[in-house]
């Protein structure tokens, strides 16, 4: 799919309420992240509406957003958290207490599994072998057991790195693998099935996927208590077809008499954060105008390079649309440390403040200190448009990641 286009079509700066970045954030030290409390709440309300109308249960996928200081904002609207391993499971259990904790991992570690059982309610295994190794102790501990399936139905174009149904994928059990490895005893352990095939997609892709799930695994679903639709549902994006999503949920619940779960991450924090940066230098190489920022794509927004995509930028447009087109890059030694090319009404100058949008997701939870770059501070924009600081980082935070 074209993440660039979906990113650019989002109202990434709606939460500013018409105020300029300089007005709101001009006094903040840069680079820094700003988390938007009101936009998180708005997303939560949309998700809670889906749950209320359908009876499904919705979880926060912490791999996309794990800024736990803001969990109290989302918690009233959600049924719990989804984790990818021990640390996220513990975080969810501690920071959303009395809510469900679901865990999926491609392969569990034996030396962590007993501790994981202390935090998880639902444990999903990736393969029959993992189910055979860990399913029995998990069942004895009273956990709800699931197996991730691979319906072998790819609805994405390009970006195979994010496509769990790409050829040769290690994620999920195909029907051929099930028929070869699943014994009646292993099948008897299962309470549910889990699939995750989408990435920033609308509910038409879910509908296609559900047809594939029924084709390959429909004979097994009546035996199950629940079916987890995974994540990648762009539910809170304007224009998302919520009616079709709700139709898919109701159809599955009625057809197979089971509980449906969704575990969006991005939809929970879509357009609910910003990255503020300042221009350090401006230069020109041939015909290319360049601005070097104090924020780094490689360090502070790694998804920009991994996906790749160009994040929304306040007041900027596509290259060539406005008089001054500039390539924005970070200060690291990586030649590809580039946010993208943008056009501006006037040339950029040193100390200009730039504000990137939709920076709550896959940023704070993925950033790094490559080149000795400092981690950006984290601030919260409260509903009343006042700011408070959650965390500042210094040399100690860089050093402690590297040794004793």
pLDDT tens, position by position, 95-128: 999 999 999 999 999 999 999 999 999 999 999 9
Place of tokens 């958290």: 81
CB of 92 closer than 8 Å to CB of 62: yes
Mean pLDDT across the stretch 221-236?
97
Mean pLDDT across the stretch 55-76?
98
Q: What is the pLDDT of residue 4?
A: 34
Residue 152 to residue 173: CA distance in whole angstroms: 9
Residue 341 to residue 319: CA distance in whole angstroms: 6
Residue 126: name the closest of 103, 101, 155 by CA: 103
Element (H, E) at 354: strand 353-357
Q: What is the pLDDT of residue 16?
A: 95
Compute the C-alpha angle 159/160/161, nearest 5°. 85
The least confident of 53-67, 70-84, 157-171, 349-363 is 157-171
Mean pLDDT across the stretch 220-237?
97
Q: What is the pLDDT of residue 288?
A: 98
Q: Is the pLDDT of residue 6 over 60?
A: no
Q: Is the pLDDT of residue 171 over 80?
A: yes
Mean pLDDT across the stretch 346-350?
98
CB of 122 closer than 8 Å to CB of 143: yes
Q: How far is CA 273 from CA 13, 39, 40, 266, 359, in A?
A: 9, 8, 9, 11, 5
Q: Is the pLDDT of residue 296 over 60?
A: yes
CB of 100 closer than 8 Å to CB of 59: yes
CB of 324 closer than 8 Å to CB of 347: yes
Q: What is the pLDDT of residue 10?
A: 57
Mean pLDDT across the stretch 55-67?
98
Mean pLDDT across the stretch 300-306?
96
Residue 167 to residue 173: CA distance in whole angstroms: 13
Percent of the chain whose predicted confidence (pLDDT) is above 90 = 95
Mean pLDDT across the stretch 65-74?
98
Q: Is the pLDDT of residue 67 over 90?
A: yes
- Give residue-wise pLDDT tens across range 182-226: 999 999 999 999 999 999 999 999 999 999 999 999 999 999 999
Q: Is the pLDDT of residue 72 over 50?
A: yes
- Give residue-wise pLDDT tens across range 321-345: 999 999 999 999 999 999 999 999 9
CB of 228 closer than 8 Å to CB of 30: no
Q: Is the pLDDT of residue 33 over 80?
A: yes
As given in the structure block, the two tokens for residue 41 are: 């709440």
CB of 330 closer than 8 Å to CB of 337: yes
Q: What is the pLDDT of residue 161?
A: 83
What's the number of CA atoms in the CB half-sphere (13 Å) around residue 40? Answer: 28
């Amino acid at each position: 799919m074209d993440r660039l286009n979906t990113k650019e079509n989002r109202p990434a700066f709606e939460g500013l309420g018409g105020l300029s970045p300089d007005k709101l954030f001009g006094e903040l030290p840069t680079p820094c992240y700003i988390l938007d409390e009101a936009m998180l709440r708005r997303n939560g309300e949309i998700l809670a509406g889906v749950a209320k109308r359908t009876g499904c249960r919705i979880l926060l996928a912490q791999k996309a957003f794990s800024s736990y200081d803001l969990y109290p904002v989302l918690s009233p609207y959600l049924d719990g958290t989804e984790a990818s391993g021990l640390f996220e499971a513990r975080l969810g259990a501690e920071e959303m207490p009395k809510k469900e904790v679901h865990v999926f991992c491609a392969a569990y570690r034996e030396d962590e599994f007993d501790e994981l059982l202390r935090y998880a309610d639902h444990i999903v295994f990736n393969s029959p072998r993992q189910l055979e190794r860990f399913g029995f102790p998990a069942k004895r501990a009273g956990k709800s057991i699931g197996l991730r399936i691979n319906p072998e139905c790819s609805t994405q174009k390009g970006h195979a790195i994010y496509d769990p149904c790409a050829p040769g994928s290690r994620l999920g059990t195909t029907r051929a693998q099930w028929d070869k490895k699943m014994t009646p005893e292993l099948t008897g352990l299962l309470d549910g099935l889990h699939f995750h095939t989408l990435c920033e997609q609308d509910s038409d892709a879910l509908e296609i996927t559900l047809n594939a799930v029924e084709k390959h695994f429909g004979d097994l679903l009546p035996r199950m208590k629940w079916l987890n639709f995974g994540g990648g549902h762009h539910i809170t994006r304007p224009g998302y077809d919520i009616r079709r999503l709700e139709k898919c949920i109701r159809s599955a619940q009625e057809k197979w008499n089971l509980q449906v779960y969704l575990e969006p991450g991005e939809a929970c924090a879509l357009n609910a954060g910003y990255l503020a940066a300042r221009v350090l230098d401006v230069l020109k190489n041939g015909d290319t105008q360049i601005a070097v920022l104090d924020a780094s794509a490689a360090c502070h927004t790694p998804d920009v390079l991994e996906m790749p995509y160009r994040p929304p930028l306040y007041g900027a447009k596509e290259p060539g649309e406005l008089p001054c087109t500039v390539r924005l890059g970070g200060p690291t030694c990586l030649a590809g440390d580039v946010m993208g090319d943008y056009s501006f009404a006037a040339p950029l100058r040193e100390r200009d403040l730039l504000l990137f949008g939709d920076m709550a997701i896959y940023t704070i939870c993925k950033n790094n200190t490559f080149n000795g770059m400092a981690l950006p501070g984290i601030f919260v924009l409260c509903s009343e448009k006042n700011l408070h600081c959650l965390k500042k980082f210094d040399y100690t935070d860089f050093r402690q990641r590297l040794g004793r």
